[in-house]
Amino acid sequence: MHAPRADRHPHERTHHGDTFVDHYEWLRDGAAPEVQAHLAAENAFTDRVTAPLAEARETFFNDVAARTKQTDLSVASWVTHFTPEPRPHWYYSRTVEGLEYRIHARVPAEHRDTPPDPEVGIPDNEEILLDGNAEALGHDFFSLGDCDPSPDGNRLAWSVDTTGDERYTLGFRTVVGGHAWPERIENTAGGVAWAGNDTVFYLLTDDAWRPYRVMRHVIGTDPAEDTEVFTETDDKFWVSVSNSRDGDWVVIDSSSKITSEVWLLPTATPEAAPRPVAPRRDGVEYAVEPAGDRLFIVHNDGATDFALAEAPLDASGPEQWREVIAERPGVRLLDVSAHRGHAVLALRVGGLTAIRVLPRDASGDLDPTEQDGYPGRAIEVDEPLRTLLPIPEVDYDSPRVRFHHTSLVTPPLVGEVDLASGEQRVLRRTPVLDHPEHGPYRPEDYVQEHLWATAADGTRVPISLVRRADAPPGPAPLILYGYGSYEIPTEPTFAAWRISLLDQGITWAIAHVRGGGELGRSWYEDGKFAAKPNTFTDFVDCARHLIDAGYTSPDRLGAFGGSAGGLLMGAVANLAPELFRAILASVPFVDPLTSILDPSLPLTVIEWDEWGNPLADPEIYAVMKGYAPYENLRPVRYPEILAATSFHDTRVLFVEPAKWVAALRHTATNPDQDILLRVEMSAGHGGVSGRYQLWQQLAFEMTWLIDRITRDVPDHTDGSIQG
């Protein structure tokens, strides 16, 4: 079998005295017949090469389906509507076996202790807000953006993307009866806010897919007459809009990667102009949480790992902020959610998430009394390596705190703490069903470990790892996952599909490399701009540590990452191809310099605060030139590579992996079948949309990677097989 060979048409790009000749830039025009033909040929070749894995894919898919409760209810949330009397409801979503999409519904609520029970089934008095399966009919792709009821609970604002490009069409309907108003508003971003029961604030996107303008719409009127409320003119800033938890405010947030500005507008007077809480200052980030008679503000003004302040409702500058909790170096304050009687803090300590609850007295003041060296009372779970995050309640008057707990071996659960009694109860454990052949899932059959690798500069890099407890000693097949950008941490969480890997003797590990958010703001800063190469060398050092410690060997080691993690995959393939047997790169950002040099492309300008601006800065250009996967290919044998992408992806355009694979085929010494490209033609950045479709996509990608790291190793000198 011979792989498609893309034609080479030289295209020069010159900056700062450096010229790069790009032979595959012509692949950018996705509408061109020759590009469509090339992508079809790539998919056909990949299908032929992977055809022997069809049975393994079916087994993987069936394993996921067998362990998943396919007809199920989520944990319900208490929401009180006023019409004008209080009218509480339980809101939830549910799935039905055989159907791709969630059904969003509610039932009248009688008591906080009696939410709908997933084990009982569908309540008789259910009201369906939106059935994703009905709305998806006739579409190859369906993604729900908004599904937000009005304050009186009688109307619904909802939006949908049917291509995968993350541009949504916004519409309105009644909850009961489903009467739809005629207006449809195109090219919106996700996120709406209500002001009363007739007025909705929404976001428009510009040509670069950037949410930049807040509009006000009155239901039943022509959208052409909508009022512009706020417009962000700086291309580095993205805008969001939402309602405050107490329902009194429309919150407009305009943020770049390093700077933020928040504007408030009272819902009681939707025609009013929004006002800023504090003017933007370069490098200062802050988030505002309205809390009744005051504002809570999480900020980094003089606080690298963030601090908590409060301010009056009419605050207009940081001089009105009063410190409540000072920065604690090494304790990253992530978020605050305010309720009438308490506030909930989300933290990161020692690489792991944590929750603190601070009571509010009758006047609304927080009690910052310390327990265990930090203000507030900790919510504890008995598991050292875990993910523990608060679930912000919609209900401002809630007397309870909900939390999410999971780990590499613990299926997700939603718990609740009663603040008056301190009682903690489990509302729901995500079920893992008995497998018809392998029996029940037992956490004790698996072991998770927290390891540390030492980077070349002496930095200790954490690794989370899970494997079968009865795995035989010696090097095992291992998949090493990484991301490492945007201060986004990779949490140690459970995945039912991963059981299939572990039960085949495969170890799963996460390299918590610099550039992510695992160890506070400094961990992120040490993996961005000119320090970005630390992300890539950290991953290589984690791989070497796992090999040296006997967990795996180069012929059994696979790597996996997506988006910015796909950049990581491309970079480590160039840095240390000898360490990895196979690499799965999902929607990979492998041509970063071309993209970040072009301000007309989606997301480019806002990304300058993450990667640097190579247009203006020769040093940043040189750094990016040094690690860009597409521009640093060598005539060596690379690991086997599967690049998986989506045609309608607006975050990482399909052209990047298409060009990368074409250049790899031209440069690498591998056989054709070692380098594969798969393009989902009806999908976006997150892949295909339906849950069964996602399982099929996951099965395709994982069985390829599993096959590569578990089969015998060919000796490429004489054609023999090494066991």
Which amino acids are annotated catalytic?
A: 563, 649, 685
What type of residue sits at position 259? Answer: T
Cβ–Cβ < 8 Å for 588, 657: yes
Residue 580: burial class (beta carbons within 10 Å; 0-12, 13-18, 19+): buried
Among candidate residues 546, 570, 541, 573, the one with its CA nearest the CA of residue 557: 546
- 43 and 678 in contact (C-beta within 8 Å)? yes
Residue 593 Cα to chain centre, angstroms: 23
Q: Is 527 exposed, middle or buried (0-12, 13-18, 19+ CB in 10 A)?
A: buried
Alpha-carbon torsion (44, 50, 55, 61), positive or negative:
negative
Q: Closest Cα to residue 400, out of 75, 32, 57, 13?
A: 75
Six token digits for residue 224? 């052409």
Burial of 716 per CB tally in 10 Å (0-12, 13-18, 19+)? exposed
Count the Cβ atoms, other than its own, within 10 Å of residue 473. Answer: 6
Under a CB-based contact definition with an 8 Å cutoff, are residues 214 and 241 in contact?
yes
Determine phi and psi for 439, rounding to 5 degrees. Answer: 80, -160
Distance of CA 75 to the CA centre of its chain: 21
Q: How buried is residue 161: exposed, middle or buried, by Cβ count under 10 Å (0-12/13-18/19+)? A: buried
Which uninterrupted H or E stretch holds 713? strand 713-714
Backbone φ and ψ for 621, nearest 5 degrees, come out as -55, -45
Secondary structure (3-state) at 39: helix
C-alpha distance across the termini of the chain, in Å: 25
Backbone angles phi, psi at 149, to 5 degrees: -75, 155
Which value, to the nearest 10 degrees, does the dihedral of the CA atoms of residues 407, 409, 411, 413 take?
A: -40
Amino acid residing at 374: Y
* The three-state (H, E, C) secondary structure of 387-434, written as one string: EEEEECCCCCCCCEEEEEEECCCCCCEEEEEECCCCCEEEEEECCCCC
Contact 388, 403 (CB under 8 A): yes
Rounded Cα gap, residues 402 and 393, in angstroms = 7
Give the single-character DSSP code of 581: S
Consecutive H or E run containing 92: strand 86-95
CA nearest neighbour of 464 among 546, 565, 375, 535: 546
Chain Cα centroid distance, residue 346: 17
CA distance 368 to 296: 13
